[in-house]
Structure 1
Amino acid sequence: MTIYQTLLGEDFKRLHPELQQRYALPVDEPFFATGVMKKIESGAAWMRPFYTVATRTKFLFPESGENIPFSIRNTCKVLPTGELEVFWERSFHFAKKTRKFDARMTIDPVKKVVKDYLGSPSLFYSDLHFSVTKEGKLLIRSGIQRFVLSKMELPIPKVLEGRVIVEEGFDEMRQVFTIHVSIHNPMFGRLMMYAGEFTPQSM
């Protein structure tokens, strides 16, 4: 059983059937898809030093644009601890550069959160709260966040958090997955926003 099925329990069955299939993720059978981000918006220009560090760890990036080709690969594997982990690889293919946004997810079945380590190597951690909307979409909101410094993890003050909202659905008319991601900081404003669509591809 996938980590997302375990986390959502009976609510997993309320997801659109295509989303249920997408998030089933059998071990070592990647989900791969390509599509287009209709809009990508980064943060303010003065934040460029932060994005410079973030791009080196396959996290956030400074570019913005429209109709940017996109690909995503999700792979579930068994860790030495016996836990299941899902590795997220997102690629945004700008005209002059491809940017990556990686993440590794496991679950805390007691707290009922996804444990999300962002980037490769990970410099940031966030609890993620998963829920299902009445339309059968997947809604994800961030919770507690920490800086990751080697084996140490330090709490991120609320004013510095990147508050995340993700909504993923399926458009039956067009037979595509839809995605909208917003990362916002209460003090600095938008850190990243992207919205678009994608379709599965054979590996």
Structure 2
Amino acid sequence: MRRLLIPLVALLMLAACNGEDMNDKDSPNPTARTSVDGVEVWDLTGTPTATSFGIPEDKAAGVYETQKPRTVRFILPEGAELTVEATLVTFERFGEGDAAHFTFAIRTAQLEPDALVTDYRDILVQLKVSTDAADKLAAEIASAPDDQTERVDVGSDEVTLDGLAIGAQAGLAPIAGSGRIIIGGSWRR
């Protein structure tokens, strides 16, 4: 499998988001989102639409952000599931009508190095891709000096589930002592 560029695009997309509280009353209620036993659940098995992701007509993105991490489960095509502790879930629409293309991104809270590697490995296992990226992350963190300002970033292999391509990236600045995991996806036609 080739390395996924989606997480890099997702990272840029997330960095550009102002972030609305997920309880924002001005945005339409996303039809793909439910709650089961207190867990936020997104069903990504259907055809992606602005309505399913709560994207307002006058905007290109539906942004669901909380200050504290929350458990979010994603029901994926082909019977796959992904459960993460997320602070941000965002869906973006490019284009209009039948020509619209959709992407999504998930961001975790800041995690200390050991938790970052553990959670990243868990996400890769859930996506059923090689965990080599988690091993590489652990090795690069272990060998980096504590005062290193250059980020340590690794990306996973991509998995495609019925036209939905998904991958994950983890990054940490050793001097900061914490990092995040970004999961990105894009529906292919």
Higher strand share: 1
TM-score of Structure 1 vs Structure 2, range by shorter chain: under 0.3
- How does the TM-score come out when normalised to structure 2? 0.27
- How does the TM-score come out when normalised to structure 1? 0.25
Higher helix share: 2
